[in-house]
Amino acid sequence: MEPTQALPDPEPPLAKTIRADLSHISAQRRSARIAAGATLGVAAALVVALIGVWIWRLALADLPAAPDQAALWRINQPPSIRFEDVGGRDIGWRGPARGEVLKLSDLPPYVPRAFLAAEDRRFYSHFGIDLIGIARAARADLQARRVVEGGSTVTQQIARTLFLTPDQTLRRKIQEAVLAVEIERRMGKDEVLKLYLNRIYFGGGSYGIEAAAQSYFGKPARALTLAEAAILAALPKAPTRLDPSNNFQAALARSHLVLARMQAEGWITAQERARAVAAPPTLVPDDPNEGVFGYVLDFAAPRARELAPPNQPALVVRLSVDARLQAEAVAAIGDAVRANANRGATQGALVALGPEGAIRALVGGVDHRDSAFNRAVQAQRQPGSAFKPFVYAAALEAGLTPRTVRTDAPVRFGDWAPQNATRGYAGEVTLSDALARSINTISAKLTKEVGPEKVAATARRFGLVDIPPKPSLSVALGSYETSLIHLAEGYQVFQQGGRRSFPYLIESISTPDGRPIYRRTGSAPAPVYPEALNGQMVAMMQGVINKGTGKRAAFGRPAAGKTGTNQDNRDAWFMGFTPDLVAGVWIGDDRNRPMHDVSGGELAAETWRRFMVAAHEGLPVRDFGTAPADLAGQDARDAFYRDLAAEFTRTEALGANP
């Protein structure tokens, strides 16, 4: 008999209880883990949602809606402006030049391919955003440790150009990408490329390939050569820096890169590339009108846009400028500066005002093509003695007369001891003679008598708004800066019998089909100075030309004016007028360097004379009228003022030598 096996003892009740408790604990832990996982999932979802809301608020909250396809051709197009002179002659344009809208089939096949080689080689393979291109650009930038390649597609460039700013920010890039995808959803690839070619900016004011082809090469886009197409394809990258009119070699180098990419893509052969490189294109000559009217058009264009209604695609603006006088002014300034370059004269400017402030000529520099900075309007310079008429005007208004006597002698006011240009002194002189001879000590004494604030208030009333209301005594010698056009505005008050007009350039604005938009109605000049005193001032300023420092400005007609040369001969001025025209001339140097023996009474006066002779050709000779009685006879107060001046001089001498 086999031995009987012992059966296991029954499980104790306690073990069962422990295992049951452990099972319960494990279930609790599983539930806790599930609850924790759910909580983490909810938290992660909330974080993602918050990040999404942050991105939406950062980049997409104000995202402009992409308009329909037709509106894409009209949106954000600045007006093109054609300008005429006062007689209706075309003198130039500003704003975008636009040609006809071309289809891709209108162009040689290599033209659109040149742009794709330059900007978007995978254009037909992406959906508005080129992820492969972005990765390629990122790798190139990392290897070079700087930005050497961009990843933007043609469609992204359209979105940026039409809707967004060029700011390099994450927010703008996100908006650009979203809009690019939406544009491609609404338009086919060929339509997107057509829109790009017809709306992109090519520099030089040209929008669209037809305008660019005409502007740079003088031919329609249909007739572009491969070399010309490569030049144009290089421009959207940097239309100002690569403008072939200003930097042809840089544009040419970029075009060679475009040709190399076209060959690499198999769009042209090696022979075609070699022929294009060997025969660089020829640019059309510069518009000759730009050299004559460039400063005028730059000054007029912003004002024309302000006066015209929004979304007006094209404007015709008639200006107050006289084309003949403008050409004479340009020639006078250019010849004067070039002939005196060895004396330190490098720049010049001229402003001429007709009745009621009409700008008849405006020259802001020797050559607008070399420098667009407008020295007639933008530059601030010390007018020197050209400011003195406003000192004398304040003195007459305070009760003095042209025949009032003052003593030209050494004088000191605190630390300031003004001296005459001649270093000599004339003794007793009338105010009329003192102005004609531009005596500094007399101007300083008059400013002390009437107060520099009074002088400044008079000048500001005349239009010299740059003069501070509380200047120092040195305002007597024109030490505070102003612009040439403001000086001309102030001198026109004297010409207009004490009445002030504001310089203006725009006579009218219309659409190309003749519909009027704006017409200047004008208003009567505002009286700012007593007419009787103004007549005395005009007679005194005639003395400057007839017998004083402005003799070289005389040209056989009644004329009045004032010379000006500031410290170290840094600026030379002549401001003057006839009954028909006010004109001001400035000669100097952009770097504010001293000139050598160049003065307002010499070079500036001679330049003014040359212009005024031409400007008055064919006009009848007119006079300002008879001289006021104050200039013809003896002032009853002369003896008193003469004695007072003598005593003033004696007191000054005692103060200087105690």
Which tens digits make up the pLDDT trace of 213-239?
A: 988 998 999 999 999 999 999 998 888
* Domains observed in the chain: 95-278 (1.10.3810.10), 286-380+484-522+563-622 (3.40.710.10), 382-482+628-658 (3.40.710.10)
Structure tokens at 283: 């640019």
Structure tokens at 289: 């009108």
| CA pair distance 531, 525, nearest whole angstrom | 13
Comparing 398 with 206, the larger pLDDT belongs to 398
Question: Is residue 576 within a helix (H) or strand (E), and if so which, with residue range?
Answer: strand 571-577
> What backbone phi and psi angles, to 5 degrees, belong to 558?
-60, 125
Buried residues in 629-656 as b, exposed as e (16+ CB within 10 A): ebbeeebeeeeebbeebeebbeebeeee
Q: Choose the weakest-confidence range: 74-78, 318-322, 439-443, 628-632.
A: 628-632
pLDDT at position 73, please? 52
Mean pLDDT of 392-403: 98
Q: What is the pLDDT of residues 180-200, one digit of tens each?
A: 777 777 778 888 888 888 888
Residue 355 has pLDDT above 90, yes or no: no
Q: Choose the weakest-confidence range: 22-26, 257-261, 595-599.
A: 22-26
Taking alpha carbons only, the member of 269, 256, 202 closest to residue 227 is 256
Residue 575 has pLDDT above 70, yes or no: yes
Average pLDDT, the chain: 84
Mean pLDDT of 418-426: 90
| CA pair distance 199, 69, nearest whole angstrom | 13
Q: In the chain, what percentage of residues exceed pLDDT 90? A: 57
- Which three-class secondary structure state does DSSP give residue 4? coil
Spacing of C-alpha 401 from chain mean position: 44
Asked if 381 and 387 count as a contact pair (C-beta separation under 8 A), the reply is: no
Residue 403 has pLDDT above 90, yes or no: yes
Q: What is the pLDDT of residues 605-641, one digit of tens each?
A: 999 999 999 999 999 999 997 555 455 444 444 444 4
Q: What band does 440 get if pLDDT is binned at 50, 70 and 90?
A: very high
Residue 162 has pLDDT above 70, yes or no: no
Asked if 374 and 365 count as a contact pair (C-beta separation under 8 A), the reply is: yes
Residue 293 has pLDDT above 50, yes or no: yes
- Which three-class secondary structure state does DSSP give residue 514? coil
Per-residue DSSP letters for 449-471? HH-HHHHHHHHHHHT-TTS-SS-
Please name the residues in contact with 577: beta carbons below 8 A apart, sequence gap of 6 or more.
491, 492, 494, 495, 559, 560, 561, 583
| CA pair distance 590, 108, nearest whole angstrom | 48
pLDDT at position 501, please? 96
Residue 321 has pLDDT above 50, yes or no: yes
| CA pair distance 82, 308, nearest whole angstrom | 13
Q: Choose the weakest-confidence range: 36-40, 127-131, 548-552, 576-580.
A: 36-40
pLDDT at position 537, please? 98
Our CA dihedral for 381, 384, 389, 393, rounded to 10 degrees, sits at 80
Per-residue DSSP letters for 332-371? HHHHHHHHTGGGT--EEEEEEE-GGGBEEEEE-SS-TTT-
pLDDT at position 638, please? 47
| CA pair distance 544, 554, nearest whole angstrom | 10
Residue 552 has pLDDT above 90, yes or no: yes
pLDDT at position 612, please? 98
Residue 658 has pLDDT above 50, yes or no: no
Taking alpha carbons only, the member of 58, 166, 185 closest to residue 126 is 185
> In terms of DSSP H, where are the helices of 465-593?
484-495, 531-547
Mean pLDDT of 426-446: 97
